Amino acid sequence: MADDHSVAQEPRLRRGPGRKVVYPLARAGNLEYDRVLFFTDAVFAIAITLLVVDLRVPEAVEHVVAKQELHDAISSIIGFAISFAVIGIFWVGHHSLFRYIKAFDRRLILLNLLFLGVIAFLPYPTQLLSVTSTKQTAAVVFYAACAGVAGLAEAAVWAYGTWPRAGLGPPVSAGLRRYLLLRTLRLPVIFGLSIPVAFPAPTVATWMWALIAVAGIVIDRTAPFAPAEPDPDPESEPGL
């Protein structure tokens, strides 16, 4: 006889036809799932905040020449703008992915942590890029490599999270899966292509990063699949 005090099991998801039933660690609408996403948002917020740490006006205000200070800060402001845009794109992309991924298991949590680890690290290559005025090959290559790894990690989150056998959400069409994978992979592809360009022309390589926005527009206009609002999870509570 079952124990009257036993804890109710989590809602079940299947890995696929004929596969065994599994119990994800956290599902949409539960506190554990929300904690993972809250933690993710916190890491993004901290990373963006750290970008401005080096944007300081000297304490000896009476000796500050505003025009000279602004001139000296141009490289830091450019570095901040680049990383703010890059981290912002990653955050928007992550938000889009989890409209369809409705649960976490250990593998997805580890992939998400890998992604967040690179995001949290981005302020360092940003500072290196700023102090070299985007004119040194090593700084540009290092930044592109770090951002590219972040993009690959985010793509891995999407690929695994929507893998039918993982059972972490309602089925998504092949077109939607491909569309969001293309949008996610455009970042590591463009950052990767900029690395060989950085050796002869590091400044040109940084201008190549603007192609990320262009690639997004091209994918939106040419992809055969236009994403619609995801169907509500029938197992989640109303309003969650």
Encoded tokens for 80 = 């901040």
Burial 180-203 (b: 16+ CB within 10 A, else e): bebbbbbbbbbbbebbebbeeebe
Instruction: Report how far residue 183's alpha carbon sits from residue 173's, in angstroms, rounded to the nearest whole number.
Output: 16
- CA 157 – CA 216 distance, rounded (Å): 19
E strands within 58-202?
103-104
Q: What is the pLDDT of residue 48?
A: 93
11 pLDDT tier (thresholds 50, 70, 90): very low
Q: So what's the pLDDT on residue 79?
A: 87
| pLDDT of 14 over the 50 cut | no
Per-residue pLDDT at 76: 83
Give tens-digit pLDDT for 114-146. 999 999 999 999 999 988 877 899 999 999 999
Strands (E), the chain: 13-14, 21-22, 26-27, 103-104
